[in-house]
Amino acid sequence: GKISEENHSLSRNDELPQCPLQPPNLQGPLDISFAIQPQTMDEIKENNPLVKEGGSYQPPHCTSRWKVAIIIPFRKRELHLVYFLRYMHPILQRQELDYRIYVINQNGTGKFNRAKLLNVGFTESIKDDDFQCFVFHDVDLILENDKAIYSCPENPRHLGVANSKYSYHLPYNAYFGGVTEMTKEQFTKVNGHSNNYWGWGGEDDDMYKRIKASRMTIIRYSSDISRYRSMFHKRDEGNEDNPQRMDLLRKVNLAMEKDGLNSLTYKVIANENYPLYTNITVDLFGPE
């Protein structure tokens, strides 16, 4: 029955030693190219035999120190997702994480809402498992150095420090975009992301303000390891500049208590375990 199965996996886990603080198989700087042919999902699966249905992994020889949900906001970026899975699965395994990849796919053609998708990913993933921390990860960014470990941080961590799109420089000091990581406690303390940013821009600055208003500091790895290569894309349909973002940003400190995880409404259209990731297609109830 179910109970004895659970007991079995628990006792097996208990016998494994904790993974070392420094994973032994990290490679450092990585060769990332988008010029090479994309692989098929079947090929990527073959190259990652230990990844389980739904896109999860646990190190076979040790108990991971960190249980991490990777949350990807998504709509119509299939090719980016192929490269993401191809490059990121091996990196996350070398980092000896206990992880699962969630693709949160916005249904329909209405205005895109990146931050609300991230809130959905958080809310849905904690129904599956006891994740300790959450990496909010754009699909078009690939880590170029596996020493930037996606470990659960003691303070909210900005990972998208050096991005090829910005000539590997932080565009501004208060930048909190691209890839970020927060523990469950940190994320719930700020009431998650805002749900009100429809279209492009501002939602990452909003989160920066929430963190500051909650008296937390932001940490970063150095730019030589927290490096990302970004995949080229044209402006997406349905993600035009949001003209309201400046107004919204002025009111973060007042609004954050009522706008976030505690006001999140959505409808799950599909929740599917694919071989390399969990796909959650969601209706966000957009303004149009």
Task: Give contact residues for ligand UDH (rule: CB under 6 A).
Answer: 72-77, 112, 114, 138-140, 200, 235-236, 239, 241
Share of the chain residues as helix, strand and coil, in percent rounded to the nearest 5 = 30, 20, 50
Closer CB to ligand UDH, residue 2 or residue 235?
235
CA dist., res. 201 & res. 243, Å (int): 9
Report in angstroms how near the CB of residue 64 gets to ligand UDH at its nearest.
Answer: 25
Closer CB to ligand UDH, residue 154 or residue 236?
236
Report in angstroms how near the CB of residue 217 gets to ligand UDH at its nearest.
Answer: 25
DSSP calls for 197-248: --SBSSHHHHHHHHHHHTT---B---TTTSEEEEPP-PPPTT--B-TTHHHH
Report in angstroms how near the CB of residue 281 gets to ligand UDH at its nearest.
Answer: 12
Closer CB to ligand UDH, residue 74 or residue 221?
74
Closer CB to ligand UDH, residue 42 or residue 236?
236
Closer CB to ligand UDH, residue 200 or residue 274?
200
From the list 257, 123, 264, the residue with the least C-alpha distance to 190 is: 257
Report in angstroms how near the CB of residue 201 gets to ligand UDH at its nearest.
Answer: 7
Report in angstroms how near the CB of residue 136 gets to ligand UDH at its nearest.
Answer: 10
Contact yes or no for 111/199 (Cβ under 8 A): yes
CA dist., res. 36 & res. 213, Å (int): 44
